Structure 1
Amino acid sequence: MPTPIRIDFVSDVACPWCAVGLAALQQALAHSGDALQATLHFQPFELNPDMPPEGEDLSGHLTRKYGSTPAQQAQIQTAIRERGAAVGFAFCPTGRGRIVNTFNAHRLLHWAGLESAERQFALKRALLEAYHGRGERVDHEDVLLAAVRQAGLDEARARQILAGDDYAAEVREAERRWLDAGIHSVPTVVIDERHLISGGQPPEVFERALRQIAAQGAG
């Protein structure tokens, strides 16, 4: 009988490695379904919580934040595209264009999680595909609502959320909780609130860890 486990996927829509990590985790879960039954919960983390409404040019942002050169950035982006292709996630060839504020995306993801784990997963995938797969701005309402429709969620309710401050306090509280738990980089996968896996690992790393944890739980 598969062992039930809880997976908290702490991530930001703005993070390309989160797209890689989620796709890899999906593969790992598909391959280890005989051993475990997972429930997946997406938890908020903002890489750039103070990002202004107009966003910031990607290359300039990376240089300012990490000190990287355009040549180094190109190498990293090539590596990310290759890792994405290996797990079935296609990155936009021209990149994201701008770094944007993702707080509204996290508010919608919180709401989606209240609807169902399946809807939240669908919305997360839709947002990652919009931003990293097509280079669309996930701080723009039309892009957010398109993702909501793609996930099968109520567009009218999403409009209400975006027009007000619903779930803002809940998202900020969750962000503080994960920061207080010592998480300062994403993606971070937390299994059964005890086991932590950092980074966009390959599927086999996730699968091996999941099977070991499931075996411990079954024992």
Structure 2
Amino acid sequence: MASPLHIDFVSDISCPWCAIGLTALEQALTDVQDEVVADIHVQPFELNPDMPAGGQDIGEHLTQKYGSTPEQQAQIRATIAQRGADVGFGFNPDGRGRIYNTLDAHRLLHWAGLESATQQLALKKALLVACHGQRQVMESPEVLLAAVAQAGLDVARAQSILASDEFAAEVREAEAFYTGQGIHSVPAVIINRQHLISGGQPMAVFAQALRQIAAEVRS
């Protein structure tokens, strides 16, 4: 009998490792579907909550934030591209170009979660593809609404959210909760609100952890 598991996926759409991690996690859930039944609930984390409108050049940002050189950044991009290819997530070969504030995306994801966990996950995946695969401007209402439409959600309702500050307080509250629980990097995969798997792990790592936790639940 399959064990029900609750999975919170704490992440930011601007994080490439989150795209890798989510894809690998979904593949792991398919691999263990005879032993585990689970819903993924997307939770917010902003890597750059103070990013101003217009964003910042990605190379400049990474140098400023991490002290990395262009050569180091190119090597990391190659590693990420290969890890993405391994799980079937296609990264734009030219990188992201710029990095943007993601609060509006998180507000829409919060709303989507109130509508349907399935549609929230679909929106998350559409946003990750727009950001990392299509190199879109992730603060643009048009880009965000296109992802909303792709996820089968109410575009008019999403427009009204973007035109207000609706769900901003809820997003901030959730972010404060997870940072208060010691989450300071993403992706962070929290299973049954007590087991933490950090980072964009390979599918096999997620599958092994899911099987182990499911066995503990059954016993």
- SS of 2:88's partner is coil
Structure 1 residue 55, shift from structure 2 partner: 0.5
Q: TM-score, normalised by structure 1?
A: 0.99
What amino acid does structure 2 have at the position aligned with 1:160? S
1:217 aligns with 2:217: yes
The one-letter amino acid of 1:123's match is: L
User: Is structure 2 residue 200 aligned with structure 1 residue 195?
Assistant: no
Amino acid at match of 1:202: P
- Aligned residue for 1:215, secondary structure, equals helix
Q: State the Cα RMSD in Å.
A: 0.4
Paired residue for 1:25? 25
* Paired AA for residue 151 in structure 2: A
Distance 1:196 1:78 in 2: 27
Structure 2 residue runs of 5 or longer lacking an equivalent are: none
User: How far apart, in 2, do the equivalents of 1:131 and 1:71 lie?
Assistant: 22
Matched with 2:178 is 178
Distance (whole Å) between structure 1 residues aligned to residue 153 and residue 132 of structure 2: 21
Counterpart Cα distance in 2 of 1:166 and 1:64: 32
The answer for the alignment partner of 1:49 in structure 2 is: 49
Does residue 1:156 correspond to 2:156, yes or no? Answer: yes
Which one-letter code corresponds to 1:140 in the other structure? S
Shift of 1:138: 1.2
1:71 positional shift: 0.3
Q: Following TM superposition, by how much is the alpha carbon of 1:134 offset from its aligned partner in structure 2, in angstroms?
A: 0.5
Q: Does the alignment pair 1:39 with 2:36?
A: no
Aligned mates of 2:96, 2:137 — CA distance in 1: 8
Give TM-score scaled by structure 2 length: 0.99
Which residue of structure 2 aligns with residue 165 of structure 1?
165
CA distance in 1, matches of 2:26, 2:85: 14
Distance (whole Å) between structure 2 residues aligned to residue 4 and residue 17 of structure 1: 26
Cα displacement string for residues 77-102 of structure 1 (whole angstroms, at most 9, x for unaligned residues): 00000000000100011111101000
5 Å matches for 1:1-219? 1-219=1-219
Amino acid of the structure 2 residue aligned with 1:91: F
CA distance in 2: counterparts of 1:31 and 1:137, whole angstroms: 34
Unaligned runs of 5+ in 1: none
State the alpha-carbon separation in 2 of the partners of residues 72 and 210 from structure 1. Answer: 34
Give the deviation of 1:39 after TM superposition: 1.2
| 1:147-194 deviation digits (Å, cap 9, x = unpaired) | 000000000000000000110110000000000000000000000011
SS of 2:189's partner is strand
Question: Once the two structures are aligned, what percentage of the paired residues are identical?
Answer: 63
Aligned length: 219
Residue 102 of structure 1 aligns with an amino acid whose one-letter code is: T
1:137 deviation in Å? 1.1
> Where has structure 1 moved over 6 Å in runs of 4 or more?
none
One-letter code aligned to 2:24: A
CA–CA distance in structure 2, aligned partners of residues 118 and 8 of structure 1: 13
Name the SS of the counterpart of 2:123 in structure 1: helix
